[in-house]
Structure 1
Amino acid sequence: MFPFNPHCSGDVMTRSVDGLDGFQALEELILDNNNLGNHMSFPSLPNLHTLTLNKNDLTDLEILLDKVASAAPALEYLSLLGNQACPNELVSTENDENDYQRYRYFVLHKLPNLKFLDASKVTKKEREEAISRGQFMRVVKPKETKVFRSPDCSSPDLSYTPLPSASRDPNHHKGVAGKCRYVYYGKHSEGNRFIRDEQL
């Protein structure tokens, strides 16, 4: 087991995993709580079977998994809890069980040798699902889009109008009244065909 310590350079704290390339026989690596981000790169660790990256600043799951798959092909245990890349309810209340399950399928698609992911064992059903559909299970949140608001809208909650803005002033409108010439007697009603005179 190799505990990770950040390197200090003057007043600047740098977070990296440089220097691990000298530990080719390393089997377990704990990198929890180190503020590691997406820029982190792994050296080749062919014997690594356990890796924990809990509570870091990892946000891009696909980039991370590609790095791990290339550096540690024998990995069997991985934990990413506490990162935005791991969409569970501990990170954000917007995530639900479906988000987390899709995340597990995607991780298993990228790392098919895993036996244990986060806090639970990989099941046979999960492995089969990851093989068949895992590549499509990446959790993607829609990007926030700005709502267009017309500069002359009087209401702050009105985001659009079905009429051109210059068609008329909404404060100066005219009502229209008219008389309908058609009178409905009910003789041509489809429902009246099924009602007999004795039923009235």
Structure 2
Amino acid sequence: MLTNLYFVRHAHSKYTPEELTRPLSEKGLSDVENINQLLIKEGIDYVISSPYLRAVQTVEGVANGIEKEVIIEDAFKERQLSSSPVKDFQLAITKVWTEPSFCWEGGESNVVAQKRGVESTLKVLERYEGKNVVIGTHGNIMVLIMNYFDNHYGFDFWKELSMPDIYKLTFDKTELKAVHRIWSMD
């Protein structure tokens, strides 16, 4: 019995320093309409999301369309890069990807963030076996999860993601069988 997880990287958001309440931008809200229409056609059974507002806003229309609540799962929130803003984002993000056990002060290493995301993904696969599940999430944590199942997905792949982006991962139990990009801004 195959399970399909639709990892949805959130749509474009307005920048605010507060991660939890950062909302989608007007462009992001516009893109959400297309995401909703596409995913509802996929026969979605459940919608799970990071607690961050931008991720919830990206997938809540799908939940409304299938008349279900969005299930909030803290483990799908974005990885904490540092406890304070980094001076050079490119340098900071490159370092954590090239040294998976390294973390900036107050941040999560790739190893720690991946463990968090994968543990939750495995629980979803067990709980919703044979179902189609949307997971509203973020770029780094999404790629770290994908990387666990197939190391082809790494830093270079992350750099090519769009906002929003959707990847359908098909599993037999916990074995990844296929990955399809089903929508992006490209």
Band of TM-score, shorter chain? under 0.3
Flag the structure with higher strand content. 2
The TM-score, its normalising length taken from structure 2, stands at: 0.24
- Higher RCO (CA < 8 A, seq sep 6+): 2
More helix by share: 2
